[in-house]
Each structure stands twice: as C-alpha cells, then as structure tokens.
Amino acid sequence: MRWQMRFPAIVLVAISLESAHQPPNRPAFPLIDHRNVTADRVGGDGEPGALPSADRNVAIDSVVLDRKHEPQKVEMSSHFLNSRRGWLAAAACAFLLSACATVLPEAPATQLARMMADSDEAYLARNPISALYRGDLRFAAQHGDYLSDAYIDAERAAAQHDLRRLATIDMAGLSESDRLAYDTFRWKRETDLRGLAPEFVWLRFGLPIAHYGGWHLDFAQLSSGEGIARYAKVADYEAGLARFDGFVIWLDRARERMRQAADVGVVLPHFVVERMIPQFQSLIDAGVDRSMFYGPVRKLPAGIAEVEREQIARSYATAIRERLIPAFVRMRDFLAHEYLPRARHSVGLSQVPGGEARYRQLVAQHTTTELSPQEIHRIGLAEVARITQSMESVKGEVGFQGTLSEFFEHLRTDSRFSPASPQALGDGYRAIGQRVDAAIPRLFAHRPLAPLDIRPTPSPADETDAAAKYDVGTPDGSRPGVFYYNTYDLPSRPTRNMETLYLHEAVPGHHFQLSLAQENAALPKLLRFDGNTAFAEGWALYAESLGTELGLYTDPYQRLGHYDEEIWRALRLVVDTGLHALGWTREQAIDYMLAHSATSRTDATAEVERYIVDPGQALAYKIGQLTISRLRARAQTALDARFDVRDFHDQVLLTGALPLTVLDAKIESWIARGGGR
C-alpha cells in the first residue's frame, strides 16, 4: 500500500460516536471521499493534488472509506451526548479525521519509478517510432514529427520538467539499484538538454538525412515487411499506410530544414549529397512492384480475406505511386539542383558554424565521459601502436616475409580470404553461431529468451551499410533479433574477420546486451530500452575479446581478423577526432585506415564516410571496451579466488546500459561486497 493513514481504528470509532447524536434528517459525520484526498502529495503529473489511476481507492488497514461502506451508528443516550464526555468525543472525532487526511510522504523509490514511467510514456507519445521498435503497437499508425519547432520545444520542455521532478526525490532514501536508475536518468536528461541547446538546433535538425543511416533508407527497411514493423493483421497494414503519410510530411519538412540551415552556413559535405541522389533515384525507379514499401503486400498472411487482400494491395500501390514516389522526386530534385551547389567540400564538423562546440558535446554524449577530442586522439594513437605489435606476431606465425603493409595488401588481394558466394557467407556465420552457443555456459549464467536470425542485408541499404549489423527483437521474443551480413561487393567481405564480427553483432555482443536488458521486466523502461553508445558498443567490442575463451580464434587468420577489427576501433579514435577536431581530409583519413589495417578500400571508405556524417559515435566503442576490460581486471585482482566471470558479466549486463561513470561505481560497490550474484 502506497499510502499510510494515521490512527485508522480510532477514526472509525470516532465517526461512530459522532454519528450517534446526529438528528434523524441529518447525515452522519462526513466520511472521507477518496477522490478528494490530496493533502501533502504530488501526483503523477507533478502538480499538487493530482491522483493517478492507480490511487483510485485509498485503503486504511484494508477498510476502504467511501460512501458505500458507512459504519453502523452506535446508540447513545441523550444524557451522554449532552455531557462533557460527549463534547470531548466530538472534538476528538474532528481532530482524528484531520489527522486521517494527512499522509506520509511517498517513498523515494516509488516517486522515482513513477517519474521515470511518466517520462517514458510521454516520450513514446512524442516519438511513436521508438514505441514501434519496442514492439509497442499503441502508436503504430503514427510516424511522428521529429523536426518542427514545436517538436524541439516539446523535447526541451520535457527534459527540463523531468530534471525538476528528479530534484525533488530524496536520493538518500533509494536502494543501490534505484540509485543506478536515478544516476542514469539524470545523466540522460542532462545530456538530452545539452543536445537541444539553441546553438545546436541547425547542426542537429538542419542536417536530417545522410547517405549512411538516413531515415529514407531505414524507414524503407522498416516498411519492407522484413524490418521491425509487424504485418500480421489488417490493422497492421492500415497502420503501415498511415505511417506513409507521416513520413511524406517528415521528408518535405526535412527539405525545408535543410534549406533553412544552408542559409546560416550549415550544409552537408558535397560527397554525401552525391551519394544520396542515386539512393532517391533507386527508390523512384523501383516503381510499385519492386518497391521495398510494397514488400508487405507480397507477403500477405493467408488468414486475411480475399476482399481485404485486394483492398490492401490497391491502397499500397496508390500510396506508393501518388504519395511516396512524388516525395522522393521532390527530394531528389532539391538535392541535385538546389542543395548540391551549396554543399561544402570540407568534411569536419568543426568547419561549420558552431561545429567545434557541437563536436565536444557529441564526444561527451557518445563516450559518457569528459575526455576531450585531443585526449581521445592520444589514446587512439597508443592503442594503434599496441595492437600493431599483435598483428606483427601473427604475421610471423604464418611465415609471411615482408612488411606489415605488404601483409595487409596480400590479405586484401588473396582470393582464399573472400567468400565463395553469398550463401557460403551466410552458412559460415551460422556455423560460427553453433560453436559459440555450445561454449556460452562457460562465461555466462544468463542468455536471452529471444531467438536470433541470420540474414543478408537487404538492397539498396547494402551498398552503404557496414559489413554486419544487428537489429534487436521484441521483449516477448515474438520478433527475433537479427544479425545482418553484407553481401554487396562480395570480394571486399573477408572471411578472416567473420568470428569477431559475429561475437560483436550477435552473441554475446549486441544480441545478449540488448535482449537481456529489455527482457528484464523488473528494470525501469529507461534501463530496458534506452542506452548509450559507449556501453552498448563498448560491450560489443569487449565481447570480441572473449573469442579465445569461447574456443574461437584458433586459426591465426581469424585471430588476425580480430586484431584487424580491434585496431579499426582504435583507428576510429584517431580518425574521428582527426576529421572533426584536427582538420583532416576524407582522403587523409582513408589513407590512415589503409596503412594501419588489412581492411579493403571499400570498407575503409565506407567507414570514414560514416564517421563524417555521424560525428563522435565511433569513439564510443573503444572507450567503452577499455572501461569494461579495466573493470574486469580490477575485479579479478581484488576478488582473486572469489572472482567468477559469469557473475561479473551479470553485473555488467543485467541492469541495462549504464553511463560508464555509473557502471564504474556499480562494479566498485560489487567488489566491496565481495562479488557473487
């Protein structure tokens, strides 16, 4: 029971005493109406006196005081009622009823849980696509705004409101797990607010699309019948059609935002615009029948009646032909004729107005640290040097005669390191998955309920997507997690890094981290569904380091593939900061990647272009991994024989994605308690 009333038993007696001297035509002393009990309380919306639906009945020692449960009147003599004792009883009744209306303060943990739930619910209402990614279909027919002034103002006001409510909670009254949620929520909302600062509006909302990770590509995949949106019932198809309308509005608004940002000197790099024009042309050329947006129609469930099937097919064809394709034409023409001539030939964020400050903010957001770009650049250089020595060792192990650069070139051009076919690439990943699954109990006490599917990256996203990626499933397991492998330009997809890619993107990387968090219903939604890049990608890179313990990397070339992927993340520390803080060119960054890794020019180019359009995000991987590895080493040293790596992994994974500073404090506390579960 959330509420505690004072003197409940005495109050009932006092009410009965008072009721005895009421005239026959006068009601007994008024009982408490639970709909109006509002004293000393802040309700769910943060305003005094508000009562959320959960508090419709106020229980007093299992007796609900409302007008349906009036206590029986007690017969008293008129002599007693006229006596001084009767007067005292009436006075006591009034006093005790006043006390009854006073409530003890709500427990801090309850306040925190309610506040976070309120914040999350409001967030989903403002950002309905996020709900869809969770498998929450309440807002499935909505696309959302995401770009208007009203949306920006609402997001800023929501963050300010949440922080004000958070400041009213007594942190000293929270348990350790609740403090984790408190600290994480505070970090998130403070970070959100910094990112919504007026000086960053054009840099954030004036560059809404890009060739990599652009919403025009992601929305197409979402709507393809192969993405996260459900297409099982007629209502799902109707929701998909409704989202088309919202997407068209968003795309037209994106065009206007880009035009406004260009007027203040904030524009995309020239090559990014050049990449996007053929992407929109491809969406146009697909027409109706080959459109990704028509994919759900090609897979209509058998249980849908024929008349409805025909209506769905007509409606989707009309929407694609009359709404989506014209919107793509408008954006293509805008990019080609108006925007491309204004695009910049520089690539770093610091080379646009306000970009230097925005990059520092993004570095803090993505790494969850206060490290400067210059400090991160130095860490990257040191890591590149360390991993290079490991690669030199593998070169000697396989007996290659020549320099490391020559060894890299040999690996890029030797056909035995290329997949024989797209099918062979997929079969190889499935075989790795079987080996990993058999070894998982050595290192993990818990594994997700959600299954994992292994699929090729769909076109046209495969032309610009990474070599592999992961999409999380639903909390109830009804939609599996999906590991995507890229078959575009097949010779550029080396087989030597398959083991490390699987560990990172699938098991025990993203699939474990994201699924275990969202399947834990005891966590607040912030920790189940939200996160930060440093934790999520730091964990995935740490998962790559578990390959030897899981029985992988026995082939020296697979071990080299692991070092190649690890040095890539170290290179990101150097290249991302070089591009956005130190004035590097695109070509300079690509050359640096090729000189220090065995990656192909195709992959190096795609990665550098990704860093250009997503500043700071690539820094999170290595910073997060270094932190988790350091915490494990610290725990092993401190706990010695009491250390169990399965317990450590539970401590890292089972409370969701924490900022690195919060995770550090949590592991320190766990060590101080002596480890264990």
Q: What angle do CA 226, 449, 440 make, to 5 degrees?
A: 110
Interacting residues of 403 by C-beta distance below 8 A, sequence separation 6+: none
User: Which residue, 403, 399, 247, is CA-closest to 330?
Assistant: 247
User: Which residue, 556, 594, 629, 625, is CA-closest to 391?
Assistant: 556
Residue 252 has what DSSP assignment? Answer: H
Helix axes 510-519 and 498-505, enclosed angle (nearest 10) = 10
At 578 the pLDDT is 98
| Burial class of 433 by CB neighbour count within 10 A (0 to 12, 13 to 18, 19+) | middle
Decide if 427 contacts 452 (C-beta within 8 A): no
Mark 321-360 as b/e (b = at least 16 C-beta within 10 Å). eebbbebbeebbebbbeebbeebbebbbbbebebbbebbb
State how far the alpha carbon of 677 is from the alpha carbons of 40, 511, 627, 670, in Å: 39, 22, 21, 9
At 676 the pLDDT is 85
Decide if 66 contacts 14 (C-beta within 8 A): no
The dihedral built from the CA positions of residue 492, 498, 500 and 503, taken in this order, carries a sign that is positive
Residue at token pair 């999380």: 472
Residue at token pair 């994605």: 657
At 54 the pLDDT is 31
Q: What angle do CA 329, 331, 332 make, to 5 degrees?
A: 65
User: Which residue, 562, 567, 552, 559, is CA-closest to 621?
Assistant: 567
The dihedral built from the CA positions of residue 251, 255, 256 and 261, taken in this order, carries a sign that is positive
At 189 the pLDDT is 96
Could you tell me how far CA 523 lies from the centroid of its own chain? Answer: 14
At 8 the pLDDT is 32
Tokens of 38: 């509002």
Give 584-624 as a DSSP string. Answer: --HHHHHHHHHHTS---HHHHHHHHHHHHHSTTTTHHHHHH
Mark 200-239 as b/e (b = at least 16 C-beta within 10 Å). bbbbbbbbbbbbbbbbbbebbbbbbbbbbbbbeebebbeb
Strands 468-471 and 481-485, by their bridges, are antiparallel
Residue at token pair 């991160």: 376
Which residues, given as ranges, of the chain have pLDDT below 70?
1-104, 464
At 41 the pLDDT is 24
pLDDT, one tens digit per residue, over 600-631 is 888 899 999 999 999 999 999 999 999 999 99
Give 151-164 as a DSSP string. Answer: HHHHHHHHHHHHHH
How far apart CA 562 and CA 394 sit, in angstroms, is 11
